[in-house]
Amino acid sequence: MPGPRTLLRAVATCVAATAVAVALAGCGIRIPTDPDGALDRITGGHLRVGASASEGLVALEDGAVSGPLPDLVAAFADSRDATVVWTVGSEEDLVDDLEAGTLDLAIGGMSEETPWVDRVSVTRGFDDLPGVDAGGVVFLLPMGENGLQAALETFLDAQSRTGSGARR
């Protein structure tokens, strides 16, 4: 049985944690948050997306981006009343652009084993989206834009064939 001091510390810790939570709630802080405001900026604006060619997922022809992943991105943008602005490049170039803040999202044949995990944020793996075969696919975003990532993952969950949309 814990002693009186241990109980007093536990009660004090709970009271302090509750006070901090109430104070933060009163400040209008939203969780998850986007330090650079990506989700707020794209809503009603532009979603800047980088695309890297990947057979069966992303096709690049005569400057046009098409395929199952671009279709999903366009539908996500529509759900945010946003217009997609495409940039085409290699995965490395797109990762550089995500780090520089000139892209909001990058798509291609990236998998959960992506080597870019230390430079950008990676969604959980999706293997049951329309057009995606077993093995899954991930989407890349700038580090810290958690609100945008949460909104995208929630959207992709709803688009999945089974309703779960994710594996991991």
Q: Residue 60, SS3?
A: strand
Instruction: Using the predicted structure, report yes or no on whether residue 124 has a pLDDT greater than 60.
Output: yes
- Between the alpha carbon of residue 94 and those of residues 51, 99, 108, the distances in Å are 8, 9, 10
With bands split at pLDDT 50, 70 and 90, how would you rate the model's confidence at 154? very high
* pTM of the full structure: 0.76
Q: Where are the alpha helices (DSSP H) in 58-121?
A: 68-79, 91-100
Per the CB < 8 A criterion, the answer to whether 85 and 142 are in contact is no
Which of the residue ranges 29-33, 71-75, 158-162 would you say has the lowest mean pLDDT?
Answer: 29-33
Name residue 64's beta-bridge partners. Answer: 61
Per the CB < 8 A criterion, the answer to whether 120 and 141 are in contact is yes
56-115 confidence digits (pLDDT tens): 999 999 889 999 999 999 999 999 999 999 999 999 999 999 999 999 999 999 999 999
Nearest CA to 69 out of 110, 36, 113 is that of 110
Please identify which residue in the block is written with the tokens 């959980």.
124
Rounded mean pLDDT of 14-43?
59
